[in-house]
Amino acid sequence: MPTETLDMLPGQGETKTTASKRARRECEVCGEPAHFKHSFLFKNFRSNPKSKAYGRDDCSWASDIDVFVCQDCKPETPDGCDSGASVFPAIARFAHMFLYWKEEE
């Protein structure tokens, strides 16, 4: 077994800088900028331990699957989800829901 080690390894201490830009989510149907976020919950969400609304009284902010769409497209209800969904418009109050950090190359 080798007993000698290096105090400084090759590459140790190097710095890497990356840039990220805020980007808007796209419509999952057509690819245009998203204007609505539909938050779906699994079937029987209050009694379903797999749901984020499990055991909650107020489920309006809970979401198991998010679907983003533009002004013209309508989302399909994901398999295993209830047809009702909370809908959030792309307004200043909900901007954080529609933006994400995209690493630039």
**Structure confidence by residue, pLDDT tens digits, 42-64:** 999 999 999 999 998 888 899 99
What are the tens digits of pLDDT across the range 5-43? Answer: 999 999 999 999 999 999 999 999 999 999 999 999 999
Give the separation between CA 25 and CA 95, rounded to whole angstroms.
10
Identify the helix (H) or strand (E) that includes residue 96. Answer: helix 95-98
pTM confidence score: 0.80
- In whole angstroms, give the CA distance from residue 36 to residue 29: 12
CA distance 43 to 63: 12
Distance CA 83, CA 70 (A): 19
Structural domain boundaries in the chain: 21-103
Contact 102, 23 (CB under 8 A): yes
